[in-house]
Amino acid sequence: MLDLLCGDFWCIWRRRNQRICNQNTPPLQVNWDTISLWLQEYQSYRSNVGDLSPPQQLIQRDSVQSKWTPLAAGKLKLNIDASVIPKLYFVGIGGVIRDHLGVVHRALANKVAGCFSPEVAELLAIREGFNMANQLQICVDEVVGDATSSVALEQEPQPGSYLGDM
């Protein structure tokens, strides 16, 4: 029940942000359906993966001098990225799951409508990456992205920040 209440609060906040960005806001029923869908995604991930502990390692990388680094044998890495295009009111998100040899198991690229900060866009990419892993019924051992504050938020939540306890 607390999950649904938190989802309601999030949708209210999102509707507020959409109005600030001069976007059309969907009917309230759409918000309820979205909350229900996200809760189902979470419960599905939880039932498929079991342990909801965070990935063993979250790495922030320098986007200028970054390169892929291999994992230990049998481990999987989710590399994510996001691009914010504020004047067009959408973000592009992408991700790829690779094994220790660099073999791509699955990749994603999506356009998400909305007016989001780079940190929120990066968190959306992480969410979609975990959804992709859930569909494959695999557990990601490491997540790598270049939004410094998103990675820091995963390692040490900042209550009271505009991102909240993500």
Could you report the per-residue pLDDT of 72-82, keeping only the tens digit for each?
898 999 999 99
pLDDT number for residue 53 = 54
Residue ranges, the chain, pLDDT below 70: 1-8, 10-11, 26, 28-32, 35, 42, 45-46, 48-68, 147-166
Question: Do 76 and 97 contact (CB within 8 A), yes or no?
Answer: yes
The Cβ of residue 136 has, within 10 Å, a number of other Cβ atoms equal to 13
For residue 95, the cross-strand partners are 80, 108
pLDDT in tens, 142-166: 988 876 545 455 555 555 555 554 4
pLDDT number for residue 165 = 45
pLDDT number for residue 78 = 92
Domain spans of the chain, in order of start: 1-52, 54-166
For a pLDDT cut of 90, what percent of the chain falls above it? 15
Domain at 54-166, CATH from 3.30.360.10, 3.40.228.10, 3.30.420.10, 3.40.50.2000: 3.30.420.10
- What are the tokens at 26? 């969907």
pLDDT number for residue 155 = 54
Residue 165 burial (CB < 10 Å; 0-12/13-18/19+)?
exposed
Rounded to whole angstroms, the Cα distance separating 118 from 91 reads 9
Residue 79 burial (CB < 10 Å; 0-12/13-18/19+)?
buried
Rounded to whole angstroms, the Cα distance separating 79 from 98 reads 8
Rounded to whole angstroms, the Cα distance separating 62 from 144 reads 11
